[in-house]
Structure 1
C-alpha cells in the first residue's frame, strides 16, 4: 500500500492522558520534556506523541477493511500512531484491549522498541485496538515558512482513571515525564520552570476549563474538530498570533513577540 502524502504538513498524533489526582483535587494530564537536541520543540514540555509512520497507515487499512472500525483510513492511522507513541514513550497501554497488565505492557513496550511497529506487538500479545478509549480533541497545523519541520497534529483524549500508574521515559526523545493539572502546568510555565510552545499553551488553557475528564470529553464531542492554523494579525500596531474564535479555546491570541513556536 502506498502511504498517502500529507495534505499539509508531517502527519502526527498525540494523546492527552488524564488521570485522577492521587491526592484529590483537579485531574492531571501527562506531559513530557523533549530532549534539547530534538529538531522540533527541543527542551519544551509537550504531550506524548509523534509522527504517523507508514506502518500505521498499513495497519489502519487492515483494521478498516476487516470491519474492526468504521473510522476512515487516515483517522484510524492517526489514532494508531497515538497508541503506538504512547506505549513507546511512556509505557502506558492505551487504546488497546486484551489481557493487559503492568508486566505485559512492559514486555510489549520492549518488543515495540525492537520492531518499531505496532502490528506484530498486537499479534504477539493477542491484543486488539480499542478506538472507543480515544476521543478526538483538536487538530493543529501551525504552518510557518520559517520552520522547516511543520507537523499537522491531531490531539486525542484518553482517561486512565486511577492515579496508581507507573510511567517511564524512553530516553531517546524525552528527558522527563510528569503528571500535572493543566492549571499547574500553566503556572509552572509562568514561573519559568517549563517552556511551552504556542499550541501546547493554548491546549492547556482549554484543558484548564474542565474539572474532570468527563467534562473535557463532553466539550470535545460537542465541538467538531477543525484544523487550527494560527495567523499573524495586526492589532493596535502590534502583531498577534491568532486562532479560531469558535474552537473551544478561552484564549485565542498572543503577542507574536512572546510566542514560542518550536
Structure 2
C-alpha cells in the first residue's frame, strides 16, 4: 500500500447509519404456553448478516412517512419512542410502519385493518394496501434499540417492535430476503446462527411482554451501541 493509499484509507468516509425497524411476531404454544417467535434465515448472498437467523425488518423508506395508517400507534410505544434520541413523532410512526411493511414483504404476513379513508398508496405499499386495507400499528410495542457496530458492510439504527401473531393475517411465504421462515421457541434458537442483538432480544422478550412492563409507558427501553470500541448499553 502506498502512502497515498494509506492516507485514503484513513480519510475514508464512515459507513452511514440508516434508520431501520424490526418486528418480533410472537405466539404461545402448547399447554405450558411456551413463547414462539417468527424468524427466518437471511440468504447467503445478502450483504448484511448472510445466513443468520433474524426477525423480519429493514430500512426506513420515505414512503413510510406518506402512507396513512388505519389506526394510531400504540400509546405505550408512542411514549417510549418520544424518549428515543433523534426520533420525533413523525419518525416514530414511520418506523412502526416500516416494521409492518418489511414483515409483509419478507414473510407474507400483514398487520392491517380497513383504511379510514381511500387513498393512493405509494408504490412500495401498493400490494399491502390492496382490498382497501391500511397498516395497523395499534398493537406494536416498542421494546429495544440497537445500532450496528462499526466495520460491518451496512449499519442500521434499528428499533425493535413486538406484536402478537393474531394481529397478522396471511400465510407464511419465503422471500428474496428471508428463507426458512418458522416459529421457534427460545430453546430452539440455541443452535441457530443468531446475531448478538437477536440473542439478547430473545432472552429478554418474555420479561418485556409481562403486563407490568408491556403496559408501562415509563418502562425504559434498552439501547445497544458501540463507543470507542466498547459495547455500551443505555436505557431510553
1:82 equivalent to 2:71? Answer no
Equivalents in 1 of 2:234, 2:29: separation in Å?
A: 31
Q: CA shift at 1:245, angstroms?
A: 6.3
Equivalents in 2 of 1:165, 1:29: separation in Å?
A: 16
Alignment deviations for residues 208-241 of structure 1 (CA, whole Å, 9 cap, x no partner): 547xx445962774523354213467xxxxxxx5
Could you say which residue in structure 2 is the equivalent of 1:204?
Answer: 202
Could you say which residue in structure 1 is the equivalent of 2:18?
Answer: 10
Between stretches 24-33 and 34-43, larger displacement belongs to 24-33
Between stretches 216-225 and 69-78, larger displacement belongs to 216-225
Change (3 A) 1:76 1:209: closer
1:242 equivalent to 2:231? Answer yes
Q: TM-score, normalised by structure 1?
A: 0.65
Say if 1:137 and 1:220, in contact at 8 Å, map to a contact too: no
Say if 2:72 and 2:137, in contact at 8 Å, map to a contact too: no
Could you say which residue in structure 2 is the equivalent of 1:191?
Answer: none
Say if 2:222 and 2:233, in contact at 8 Å, map to a contact too: no
Could you say which residue in structure 2 is the equivalent of 1:230?
Answer: 226
Could you say which residue in structure 2 is the equivalent of 1:104?
Answer: none
Give the alignment partner of residue 90 of structure 2, picking from 54, 67, 73: 73
Equivalents in 2 of 1:87, 1:98: separation in Å?
A: 16
Change (3 A) 1:174 1:119: closer
Could you say which residue in structure 1 is the equivalent of 2:42?
Answer: 34
Equivalents in 2 of 1:134, 1:43: separation in Å?
A: 27
CA RMSD of aligned residues (A): 3.4
Could you say which residue in structure 2 is the equivalent of 1:147?
Answer: 152
Equivalents in 1 of 2:211, 2:109: separation in Å?
A: 23
Could you say which residue in structure 2 is the equivalent of 1:126?
Answer: 132
Helix, strand or coil at the partner of 2:124:
coil
5+ residue gaps, structure 2: 1-15, 79-88, 116-120
Say if 2:220 and 2:235, in contact at 8 Å, map to a contact too: no
Say if 1:13 and 1:153, in contact at 8 Å, map to a contact too: yes
Say if 1:135 and 1:217, in contact at 8 Å, map to a contact too: no
Could you say which residue in structure 1 is the equivalent of 2:5?
Answer: none
Say if 1:182 and 1:207, in contact at 8 Å, map to a contact too: no
More strand by share: 2
5+ residue gaps, structure 1: 1-7, 100-111, 189-193, 234-240, 248-262
Equivalents in 2 of 1:231, 1:181: separation in Å?
A: 32
Q: CA shift at 1:204, angstroms?
A: 1.5
Matched length? 202
Change (3 A) 1:245 1:53: closer
1:176 equivalent to 2:180? Answer yes
1:157 equivalent to 2:162? Answer yes
1:167 equivalent to 2:172? Answer yes
